[in-house]
Every structure is written in structure tokens, then in C-alpha cells.
Amino acid sequence: MTTPVLSPWIGGAEHPVPGARLGDVHDPATGQVIRKVAFASRETVGKAIEAARAAFPAWRDTPPLRRARILARFRELCDANRDELARLVSQEHGKTLPDAAGSVQRGVEVVEFATGIPHLLKGEWSEDVARGVDLHATRQPVGVCAGITPFNFPAMVPMWMFPVALACGNTFVLKPSEKVPSTSLRLARLFQEAGLPPGVLNVVPGDAEAVDTLLTHPGVDAVSFVGSTPIARHVYETAARTGKRVQALGGAKNHAVVLPDCDLEFTADALVGAAYGSAGERCMAISAVVAVGGVAGPLVERLAARARALRVGPGTFKGVDMGPVVTAAHRERIRGLVAAGLAEGAKPVVDGRTLRVPEAEAGFFLGPTLLDHVTTSMIVYREEIFGPVLVVLRVATLDEAIALVNANPYGNGTAIFTGSGRAAQRFEHDVQVGMVGVNVAIPVPMAFYSFGGWKQSLFGDLHVHGTEGVKFYTRTKAVTSRWPEGSGTGGGSLAMPTLG
């Protein structure tokens, strides 16, 4: 049987490219290549940008309420096809079906938010800023926007971007991760079925060639990126140099600070979910626990018992808690980092490196790993591992814990577990991180708030979705107007105009 080949989606149709470079798309649970994907070349990405440019004037001039109605139909189609979307996510990424369905749901919630666009685009109006002079400000779309997305959320992260961009009247070229291209292509078809005109949303799977074309092409006005920090920095610098508006979300090392007065069983439950859910391949995964004072011993004991009890297997199997990691190469990298951590003195409490899954021997599986007595100089702490590895650092006080979190170069998410309102309030105020949980391990804001980190977790200033997303995908126009009635004096003043 020949392996199916996925083609770009340009101008409302599949766009096969004979002779294109092909990439392998794996099912990480079986290790098999299930599809090939045609990598979009500079020329193909150029065609997608042209299609988006051509579609822009009519889409911009479509009243926001009509755009919102198409979004509402798209939301209904996402709901109707939720199981299929979750299955595609799970099949190419590896996460369990319930986890995949949850991630689709979080994406659909952004579509729901974006259906409120007529309200969100309301501007400002001031009457009589000077005698007979009115001033109003309105928000207009930016033009052609590009989105470049990572492998770990095949539906949700693209849906952080294009629903809001399109609702605002922009057209879009999406470059999904080449590891998980099917979901984005499916979403583009569903959007077309919902009534989206051809060319408004285009999808060009590919690698660095496609990305660099989007970053430098004069036909692209704004770039949203989500992925690792080195690429986020490259995207930010390159696109900004060519005059584009950029938001580039990067990697993370998310800490949970645990105080002795926390609800211990609840905290252990929450941390196991946050560390090992999606095999640790979430940018909001908790990967470092900072245990304060005497809580470390009892906490580690509970975390270990829960980690050992997790069932690892194919994400589509019932009763499985944790699926495989995304590729064989990623698994090797994680194993290498754990080995380096042990060589540096970390204590292995649970070691998942050699776990076997008898019903899926060729899958890219790893068991949960828990390392204790980790210090900030160790590689397992310094690197973003992005796998099912949780490290525990021990400190004496809340002050030390906050200083430790703030010294980390990343600032995506963090959480505190405590029964003390005063400690939580201090943490919330002092911590240098963009998203904070109080007894909430994964504080991902709802769609009607905005998502984004600080420091090396975000290059740019505006976060995604919510009102910051609307700001990113629009620009302000301020209009000052008067309607004179034969009041000219035959002269005219050259002085800076002031209130008159």
C-alpha cells in the first residue's frame, strides 16, 4: 500500500506539488510512518501568501457580524467533528484521546470568543475635543498574518491564532509543525465548509524554508509563532527586521512551589497530572517542584507512588494515562538528559527510561521519571526537557523559592500550593512569570483572557487570544474631524494646533 501524501491547502483547495520534498509523519504509538507530507518550498509559500493577499480586500470589507456568523458555523462543525479531530491529534502526537479532546475543546473556545468580534472591535469616540472637532479611534485589520506552530498542540495552538486573526478581518497563512500536519489541514477544510471564502485561510506544512519565507516575504504583515526559545528568538529578530509585527512564544521551565501547609494529597494529584499529562510535552507542564521546608519528603513519597501507578501505552487505548513522546529522536534526547542529571548527582526516585510497552514495542514510549535532590546547576534543571521528567529541588523558605523561580530564564507558567492566602498573595505579586496558579497546577487562561509568558518564554509584547490577541491582529486608526461652514479667515496659523 502506498503511503498517502498530504499537500498544502491554498486558495481553498488542495495544492499538490509534484517533486516536493517529503517528510515522514509518524504514529508515535506504533513507530510507523503513516503519512508523508509535502514540504512547502519558497515558491509554494509565495503562492499561499498571494492567495491570502488576493482574498484580503473582500474579507476585510465583510462586516464583522458576517465574519462572526461564519466563525459560529465553524465552531458547530468543530463540535460535530470533535472525535475525528481528537483522533487525528492523538494519532500524530501520541497524547491520549481524552487529553486530545480537551485540547480541541480549548481551541474551540477561542473560536467562541472570536464570534464576539463585533463587540470587540468597537472603537472610541470623543465629541468636541475642540470647538466643532470630534475624534474617534477604530481598529482595522493588519493584512496578511502568518502563524507558525509547534508539534505539541496540533489543534489548540493554531486555534489560538487564526480564529482571532480572521475575525478581525485579516487573511492567514498557517505553517503547522511538519510532525503533525493533518489536524490543521482538516480544520481549514471545515472552515471552508462553514462558508470561509477561498484564500482567507491557507495551510503550508513545511520546515525552515517555509518559515523563513514567511518571515522575510514582503506580502506578510504580522507573524505569530509558538515553539522553542531559540526558534522564537530567530523568528522575532528576523520578522521584526523586515518590519513585521511579531509575537513569538518560546519554551518553558515551569515551577510548582509547594509549602508545608498545602493539602498534600490534592497537591500530589495535581502535580502528577501537570508533570506527566501529554507525556510532559506541554509548554505549561510542571517540570520542576520547589519543595519548601519539611514538605519535600512526604511529597516525593506521594509523587513516586502516583508516578509508578500511571499506565503508559498507545493514546488511543482505553485506560491509558500517558502516551508516547513524539519521535524516537526526542526520546533519545530525554534519556540522555536524565543520564546527565544522574551523573551530576540527582537522585532517581522513579526511572522510566527503560520502560517497555509489550503491546506496542515499536512505539516511542518512556515511563514517568522523578528525580530528587536536583540543584539549579544541573542540566536536568537548566534544560527544557519536554518529556515525562519531574525534578524536585529543596529550599528552606518561600523567599528562597521565589528567588529560584525568578532566576530562571523562562517565565511561562508557575503555581504555588499552599493553605495560606498571605503566602499566595506574596507569590502572585513577586513572581516574574506570565501565568500563575494558586493551587492550580496548569493555569492556562480561558480564551477570553490572554495567554503568554514573560522573559525568554515570549519575544514581543502582546499575548495570544483574548483582548491582547485582538490588539495584535488590528491596528488603531485615530480620526480627527471637523465640518467647517464658511469660517475661513483668509490667513491660517502655522503654530502647533491646540485646543480651540
List residues with catalytic annotation: 283
- Does residue 157 bind ligand NAD (CB under 6 A)? yes
Residue 257 phi/psi, 5-degree rounding, is -95, 125
Task: Give min distance, CB of 203 to ligand NAD, in A.
Answer: 12
Among residues 262 and 326, whose Cβ is nearest to ligand NAD? 326
Q: Which is nearer to ligand NAD, 138 or 432 (CB)?
A: 432
Interface of this chain with ligand NAD, residues 193 to 232, rule: CB under 6 A: 207-208, 211, 226-228, 231
Minimum distance from CB of 274 to ligand NAD (Å)?
A: 14
The answer to whether 191 touches 24, Cβ cutoff 8 Å, is: no
Tell me if residue 278 falls in helix, strand or coil.
helix
Determine if 364 is a binding residue for ligand NAD (CB under 6 A). no
Among 10, 29, 104, 148, binds ligand NAD (CB under 6 A): 148
DSSP-assigned beta bridge partners for residue 370: 350, 390
Q: Does 412 bind ligand NAD (CB under 6 A)?
A: yes
What is the biggest distance separating any 2 CA atoms in the chain, rounded to whole angstroms?
92
Binding span for ligand NAD by CB under 6 A among 39-47, 120-128, 149-157, 272-280? 149-157
Element (H, E) at 425: helix 421-430
CA separation for the pair 385, 380 (Å, rounded) = 7
CB of 88 to ligand NAD, least distance (A): 17
Site mask for ligand NAD (CB under 6 A), range 13-52, x = bound: ----------------------------------------
User: Which residues, listed in sequence order, are joined to residue 438 by a DSSP beta bridge?
Assistant: 416
Q: What is the Cα–Cα distance from 411 to 449, expressed in whole angstroms?
A: 18
Name which of 11 and 413 has its Cβ closer to ligand NAD.
413
The residue written with cell numbers 514540504 in the block is: 39
- Select the residue interacting with ligand NAD from 9, 59, 151, 364 (CB under 6 A): 151
Residues 6+ apart with CB under 8 A from 4: 35, 36
- Nearest distance in Å: CB 388, ligand NAD: 14
SS3 222: strand
Cα 211–Cα 212–Cα 218 angle in degrees, nearest 5: 110
Binding residues for ligand NAD, rule: CB under 6 A, are 148-153, 157, 175, 177-178, 207-208, 211, 226-228, 231, 249-252, 283, 384, 386, 412, 453, 457
